[in-house]
C-alpha cells in the first residue's frame, strides 16, 4: 500500500484513523540540519506541523537532508508551518520542502517583511497560505479524538502575554510555540534572546511567566551566550534540552555560559544534534544526530530517541491526577536520572552498569529513570 491507514480505538471508542507517519503517539522530530533548525511534529492521528526548515549555514548541507527525512518518515503533505523568524538557517529550505510536500493549511509567521532573497522565496512558496500570527493563537490537532495536541503562540515581535519589549533584532522577534499534549509540554522559540547587549533585548524573562514548567526545551538560538537566561531557566525548569548546532559553525555554538545555565537549572540531559564548535560536550551532553521525542496518550513518561535508535525515558512533570504519586517529581535531578537499561526484545531489565547492557544492540537498547512495567528485574550482582 502507498499509504497505510489504520483505525485505532481509545477507550473502546473509534476516534481517528492514522494517516501519513502516525503511530498513535505525539512525535516531535528534531532534524539534524547542521547549523540550522528544523522540527517536524506528527500528531497521534497523523497531522503534520513544520517548525522552521532552515539551511545549514556552517557546512552548506543541501535541503535534500530534510526532504529525504520527511519522505522516509512517511510524510506526504504538511498541514501547518510555524516560522520563528526570517533568517536563512530557519526558513531557507521551506521552498524545497513545499515543492515535495504540499502545504494543506496555514503558514504562521511574525508578519511584516524582510529584505533578503531567502525571505522572498519563502513568501512565494507559502503563497496564499501565509498568515501573520498573534500572541494567543491556538491550533488544535486531532480535534474530537479526546487526545488533542494544542500549539499556542506565546510570543512574537517582542510581545508576550501581559507585556512587550522593543525588539528590533531579527532574533528577538522570534515566535514562541508551546506544544501541549495531555500533561506534556515542549517549547520551541527560534533564536529568542534573554540578554540586554548590543542590539539584543531580554524577551525570555517576560515570556517565561506564561510558559511554566517544561518537559522539553528546544534551546533558543542554538544555545548562544545570549539565550536561556537564569530567569527563563528557573521558571521553565526543563527536564531535557535539545540543542540544534552544526560542526564548524563560526558562532561558537553552543556557548559555554549557555551550557552552564542549563546545568545550574538541573536539566537532566542535553541532546545536541552535532558537536558544534563551542563548548566541548560534558557528562550531561549527548551528541545525538536526529532526535525524536515521543509521547503516548495519557502517559506518565516520554522518550527521547537518538543515535539511530537509543531510547531514553523520562517522567512527565505534570502527571494525570489519577496517577499522581505522593512523592515530588517536579525536580529532574534525582527522579529522571537514567538508572535502567533493557532490550525491546528481552523479558528482563538491568541496572545501567550491568555488563549485560553492553551486549544489547543499539537498535534494541532502551533506557530510563524508571523500570519498564512489562519486564522483570535481573540482578547482575549475583546476590
| pLDDT of 345 over the 60 cut | yes
Report residue 213 as a C-alpha cell: 514548567
Q: Is 370 exposed, middle or buried (0-12, 13-18, 19+ CB in 10 A)?
A: middle
Give buried/exposed letters for 332-368 (b at 16+ CB in 10 A, else e): beebbeeebbbbeebeebbbeebebbeebeeeebbbb
In whole angstroms, give the CA distance from residue 188 to residue 291.
14
Per-residue pLDDT at 382: 62
C-beta separation of 91 from 53 below 8 A = yes
Of 156, 191, 188, 196, nearest in space to 173 by CA:
156
Per-residue pLDDT at 1: 34
In the DSSP assignment, the letter for residue 42 is: E
Helix (H/G/I), strand (E/B), else coil: 219: coil
* Predicted confidence (pLDDT) per residue in 77-96, tens digit: 999 999 999 999 999 999 99
Output the 3-class SS for 290-336: CEEEEEECCCCEEEEEECCCEEEEEECCCCCHHHCCCCCCCCHHHHC
Q: How far is CA 257 from the centre of its chain?
A: 22
Angle at 62 between CA 122 and CA 188, to 5 degrees: 55
Q: How far is CA 353 from the centre of its chain?
A: 29
Per-residue pLDDT at 369: 77
* Predicted confidence (pLDDT) per residue in 7-65, tens digit: 333 332 333 344 568 999 999 999 999 999 999 999 999 999 999 999 999 888 889 99
Per-residue pLDDT at 4: 34
Distances in Å between the Cα of 246 and the Cα atoms of 103, 147, 187, 194, 353 are 28, 35, 21, 22, 32
* Predicted confidence (pLDDT) per residue in 113-162, tens digit: 999 999 999 999 999 999 999 999 999 999 999 999 999 999 999 999 99
In whole angstroms, give the CA distance from residue 369 to residue 226.
32
C-beta separation of 133 from 156 below 8 A = yes
| pLDDT of 271 over the 50 cut | yes
C-beta separation of 119 from 90 below 8 A = no
Of 378, 339, 382, 383, nearest in space to 356 by CA:
378
Residue 320 — pLDDT band, cuts 50, 70, 90?
A: low
Per-residue pLDDT at 119: 98
Amino acid at each position: 500500500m502507498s499509504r497505510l491507514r489504520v483505525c485505532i480505538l481509545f477507550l473502546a471508542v473509534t476516534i481517528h484513523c492514522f494517516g501519513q507517519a502516525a503511530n498513535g503517539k505525539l512525535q516531535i522530530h528534531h532534524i539534524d540540519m547542521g547549523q540550522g533548525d528544523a522540527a517536524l511534529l506528527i500528531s497521534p492521528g497523523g497531522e503534520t506541523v513544520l517548525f522552521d526548515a532552515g539551511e545549514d549555514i556552517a557546512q552548506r548541507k543541501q535541503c535534500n537532508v530534510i526532504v529525504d527525512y520527511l519522505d522516509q518518515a512517511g510524510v506526504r503533505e504538511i498541514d501547518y508551518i510555524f516560522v520563528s523568524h526570517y533568517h536563512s538557517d530557519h526558513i531557507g529550505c521551506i521552498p524545497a520542502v513545499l515543492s515535495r510536500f504540499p502545504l494543506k493549511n496555514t503558514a504562521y509567521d511574525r508578519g511584516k517583511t524582510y529584505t533578503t532573497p531567502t525571505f522572498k522565496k519563502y513568501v512565494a512558496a507559502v503563497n496564499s497560505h501565509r498568515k501573520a500570527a498573534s500572541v494567543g493563537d491556538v491550533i488544535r490537532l486531532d480535534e474530537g479524538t479526546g487526545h488533542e495536541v494544542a500549539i499556542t503562540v506565546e510570543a512574537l515581535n517582542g510581545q508576550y502575554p501581559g507585556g512587550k519589549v522593543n525588539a528590533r533584532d531579527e532574533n528577538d522577534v522570534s515566535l514562541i510555540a508551546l506544544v501541549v499534549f495531555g500533561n506534556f509540554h515542549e517549547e520551541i522559540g527560534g533564536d529568542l534572546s534573554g540578554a540586554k547587549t548590543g542590539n539584543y533585548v531580554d524577551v525570555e524573562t517576560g515570556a517565561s511567566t506564561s510558559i511554566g514548567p517544561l518537559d522539553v526545551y528546544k534551546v533558543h538560538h542554538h544555545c548562544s551566550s545570549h539565550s536561556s537566561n537564569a530567569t527563563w531557566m528557573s521558571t521553565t525548569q526543563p527536564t531535557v534540552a535539545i540543542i540544534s548546532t552544526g560542526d564548524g559553525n563560526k558562532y561558537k555554538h553552543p556557548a559555554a555560559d549557555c551550557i552552564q545555565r542549563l546545568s545550574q537549572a538541573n536539566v537532566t540531559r542535553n541532546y545536541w544534534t552535532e558537536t558544534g564548535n563551542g563548548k566541548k560536550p560534558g557528562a550531561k551532553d549527548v551528541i545525538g544526530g536526529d532526535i525524536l521525542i515521543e509521547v503516548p496518550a495519557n502517559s506518565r513518561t516520554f522518550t527521547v530517541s537518538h543515535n539511530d535508535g537509543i531510547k531514553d525515558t523520562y517522567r512527565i512533570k505534570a502527571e494525570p491526577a489519577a496517577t499522581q504519586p505522593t512523592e515530588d517529581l517536579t525536580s529532574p535531578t534525582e527522579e529522571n536520572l537514567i538508572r535502567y537499561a533493557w532490550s525491546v526484545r528481552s523479558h528482563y531489565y538491568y541496572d545501567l552498569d550491568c555488563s549485560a547492557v553492553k551486549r544489547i544492540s543499539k537498535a534494541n537498547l532502551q533506557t530510563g529513570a524508571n523500570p519498564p512495567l512489562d519486564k522483570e528485574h535481573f540482578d547482575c550482582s549475583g546476590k
